[in-house]
Amino acid sequence: MTDLAIEARDLVKTFGTTRALDGFTLSVEHGQVAGFLGPNGAGKSTTIRVLLGMLRADSGTARVLGLDPWADAVAIHRRIAYVAGDTNLWPNLTGGEVIDLLTRIHGGARERARAARRAELIERFELDPTKKVRTYSKGNRQKVALVCALASDAELYLLDEPTAGLDPLMEAVFTDEVRRLRDAGRTVLLSSHILAEVEKLCDTVTIIRAGRAVESGTLAQLRHLTRSTVTAAVPAGPGRLAALPGVHDLVADDGRVRFDVDDAHVAEVLRALADAGVANVTITPPSLEELFLRHYGDDVVAAAAGRDDAADAGARGAGRRARRGAGR
């Protein structure tokens, strides 16, 4: 028995000529809220479907709650809850019927507790359970899917872009509910491309690109790999700052300087700023958005100037194909 709730190593999944997953690796510890970031078609939903045993990986290994997702799918399903990326429910059933259908089949939770939880969630998400699914708006349909998952008493929650279509108030309710899950020691894998949401909720983040994990770790670790932005008022001018190791992209303008600094060199830079008679200083850690754009922005801009042009171009081509394929 492993300590990890999810462990995937070198997953490969192809659809025809498309490589939707290309050696993807992911691990999520018990009790963690793990963010799973990537643009449309990077392979997020394919990964989750492999973890659910809907799709069989061509190669690589995966364990979910210590079990094999393909062979032990049913045993896993009894212990998890899932919100699908694009929710398609039975249009001729009411929201309440769908919720019962997708939670009571589960069978895990004790009946009275489940009913109370269901009522609480319907109330919190302001859902009318007597309406037919067909008459719901997109956001309301998403709420049905969320109530289904959150009302389940599961060990692991796989949420594939769960807040798509929700209004900000409902997003806040969702955030709150995920925090409650974390406090209760549940594990959550939250796939999203809403960076603020992931930044708010997640202990760790994995960034997927073209079917491959390009970055993964705690937010602190990821930030450590990058640069913070320093803004300071230095009436005497930047002096020797620009020449210091670890300082990049310095801009000086009318007694103010702004530059990026490698985290390893922050101490020296602060000393130099003090020597220069700094009046005030702000150090901003990189936002997730910056991390994210570092991995995707250069897809557009910097990759052409990349280290290994030919290989990189090949990878990008595969990525584009993968995105198209995984969108099916």
Binding site for another protein (CB under 8 A): 49, 52, 54-56, 73-74, 77-78, 80-82, 84, 86-94, 96-108, 128-132, 134-135, 152
Smallest distance from the beta carbon of 134 to another protein, in angstroms? 7
Residue closer to another protein by CB (options 17, 280) is 17
Q: Which residue's CB is nearer to another protein, number 96 or number 217?
A: 96
- Identify which of residues 49 and 223 has a Cβ nearer to another protein in the complex: 49
Count Cβ neighbours within 10 Å for each residue of 92-114 and write b for 16 or more, e otherwise.
ebbbbbbbbebbbebeebeeeeb
Give the dihedral sign, CA 163/169/175/180. negative
Q: How far is the CB of 255 from another protein (least distance, A)?
A: 42
Residue 209, exposed/middle/buried by CB under 10 A (0-12, 13-18, 19+)?
buried
SS3 of residue 135 by DSSP = helix
Q: Residue 188 in contact with residue 182, Cβ under 8 Å? A: yes
Nearest approach in angstroms of CB 97 to another protein is: 4
Nearer to another protein, 46 or 216 (CB): 46
Q: Is 297 helix (H, G, I), strand (E, B) or coil?
A: helix
The token pair that represents 29 in the structure block:
């510890």
**Mind giving me the DSSP string for 167-187?**
-HHHHHHHHHHHHHHHHTT-E
CB of 98 to another protein, least distance (A): 8
Pick the closest to residue 219 from 209, 201, 204 (CA basis): 204
Name, in order, each residue with C-beta under 8 angstroms of 310's C-beta and a sequence gap of 6 or more.
none
Q: Is 14 left (phi over 0), alpha (psi -120 to 50) or beta?
A: beta
Considering the complex, what minimum distance in angstroms separates the CB of residue 240 from another protein? Answer: 51
Q: Which residues, 6 or more positions from 267, have their beta carbon under 8 angstroms from its beta carbon?
A: none
C-beta of 132 vs 224, nearer to another protein: 132
Of 73 and 293, which has the nearer Cβ to another protein?
A: 73
Shortest distance in whole angstroms from residue 127 CB to another protein: 10
Q: Residue 61: which H helix or E strand, with range? A: strand 59-64
Closer Cβ to another protein, 14 or 229, answer by number: 14
Least distance in angstroms from the C-beta of 58 to another protein: 11
